[in-house]
Amino acid sequence: MATGGQHPKRSCRRALRDRERERSRARVDVEDPFASPERERVQGRFQEPVRLLDIGITPGESTHADTLSASALPHRIEALITMDDGHTATTYLTLDQGSGFQHHSFQFANVTEVRLTLRSAYGTSAAKQVAISEIEFFGPSHSDG
């Protein structure tokens, strides 16, 4: 067991994610948070072009299953990817109706901007907003030595 009660793999993954975040900081803008659920979006801009391999999304207010009913959950998300030459690509992500991290392949090179637009959601109502706890982009691993 690792110090602090953490599993060694989790500690290593967290350290790698933190290091990658430092390398490719993204500015994130939430556009029109009071729009209809089908128009809510999050946009990230990278300081330098990056190569992306995967995306991870954690739907809901937290990773705990007992909080899933507290908010609506994303179902289908449109991803508009902009490359450094101005070309764009569009892909769609379909999320499960469940808690926890959901991993998807997301392979694009020379990315400068990603806009994620909600297209449908589970459990929508006038009293519930769609919640996403975390969005993570993953690129290739780099060694320091």
Q: What is the tens place of the pLDDT at every residue in 8-38?
A: 444 445 544 554 544 444 554 444 444 555 5
Q: What is the tens place of the pLDDT at every residue in 30-43?
A: 444 445 555 688 99
How far apart, in whole angstroms, are the C-alpha atoms of residue 145 and residue 142? 9
Q: Is the pLDDT of residue 83 over 70?
A: yes
Q: Across residues 99-118, what is the average pLDDT?
A: 94
Domain 26-138: which topology? Jelly Rolls (2.60.120)
Q: How many other C-beta atoms can be found within 10 angstroms of the C-beta atom of residue 61?
A: 16
Q: Across residues 94-100, what is the average pLDDT?
A: 87
Domain residue spans of the chain: 26-138
**Model confidence, pTM:** 0.72
What pLDDT does 11 receive?
A: 46
How far apart, in whole angstroms, are the C-alpha atoms of residue 132 and residue 80? 18
**Phi, psi angle pair for 117, to nearest 5°:** -115, 125
Q: How many other C-beta atoms can be found within 10 angstroms of the C-beta atom of residue 130?
A: 20
Residue for token pair 């996403």: 132
